[in-house]
Chains A and B, each alone.
Chain A
């Protein structure tokens, strides 16, 4: 059984906050089951890594938790967050503005490497 999970955030968009919590809940759950989890933030999802963005997004109509709270829980369970450098450039997100949960910067080759590796499962949101 695979024990590693790479998650690609492509359509997880801060303009659609009701779609933003689930990937992090799944990441937290996988990490809680001792699965090694990496999340790759691409396209407009990169905005979630800028301080103050996810913290201002309600996760649903009941607004009990922000999207950032879900991100924090995923990170607390051990999920690693990687920012796509092309998306950073396109959407003007710079490293000094990152939330502290960001592990580093990793591009397309890093995620595709996971896709080609038998030990890794991948999900795209």
Chain B
């Protein structure tokens, strides 16, 4: 795991800095997707999570769901194409777990998605994620998560 401005980034998955999400390929072509700890820090508080319906086909860059925050909404965009296989009903019922445990119980959706080296190379991993997220955080003048 690496830390960037107080936000953790486990190294067992891939990231997309613009969409502020992580994806983790698993067995049988299933890819799990969730928000980063940086995204959770920006959100501060999650009011609702509404995923796309199971079976929905999602192209790269399209929404797999919507997060409602205090006064705004955020698209959860897919960095890989796939079909929504499973949604985290626990996160729907208790959206606060998205912020509390974004890399664990707060995952958002699982997609059936082909995975290969080309896809992986389009995402951020250990060697590339730090400069990309550092640049994003600098752009937002992000100094670190608020102490709540």
Contacts and interface: CB of A to CB of B under 8 A. Distances in A.
Interface string B56-74: 0000001101101011111
A32 B71 contact: no
6 contacts: A28-B72, A32-B74, A33-B52, A33-B63, A69-B71, A77-B73
Contact of A29 (B52, B62, B68, B70): B68
B75 A33 contact: yes
Contacts, number: 30
B39 to A, nearest CB: 14
Nearest to A1: B53
Contacts of B52: 33
Interface of B: 50, 52, 62-63, 65-66, 68, 70-75
A73 interface: yes
Contacts of A28: 72-73
B71 A29 contact: no
Interface residues of A, number: 13
B16 to A, nearest CB: 17
A77 B75 CA distance: 9
A28 B73 CA distance: 7
A65 interface: yes
A92 interface: no
